[in-house]
Amino acid sequence: MFHDQIIYVIGDAQVSQNNPISKQYNQFFLGVAVDRSNGIIVDVDCSATVSLTVKFIASLLVNYNINDEKIVSNIQNRYFGSSQKALLVAFKDVQRKYNQITALPKTT
**CATH number of the domain within which 43 lies:** 3.30.390
Q: Please give the span between the terminal C-alpha atoms of the chain, in angstroms, as a whole number.
A: 20
pTM: 0.87
Does some domain include residue 106?
Answer: no
Please give the pLDDT value at position 56: 96
- Identify the sign of the CA torsion 60, 88, 22, 18: negative
Q: Is 102 left (phi over 0), alpha (psi -120 to 50) or beta?
A: alpha
Q: How many domains does the chain have?
A: 1
Phi, psi of 14 (to 5 degrees): -75, 150
Does some domain include residue 14?
Answer: yes
What are the 10-residue block averages of pLDDT along the chain, 108 residues in total?
94 72 68 97 91 95 97 97 91 97 76
Please give the pLDDT value at position 6: 97
Residue 42 belongs to what H/E stretch? strand 41-46
Please give the pLDDT value at position 48: 83
DSSP letter, residue 25:
T
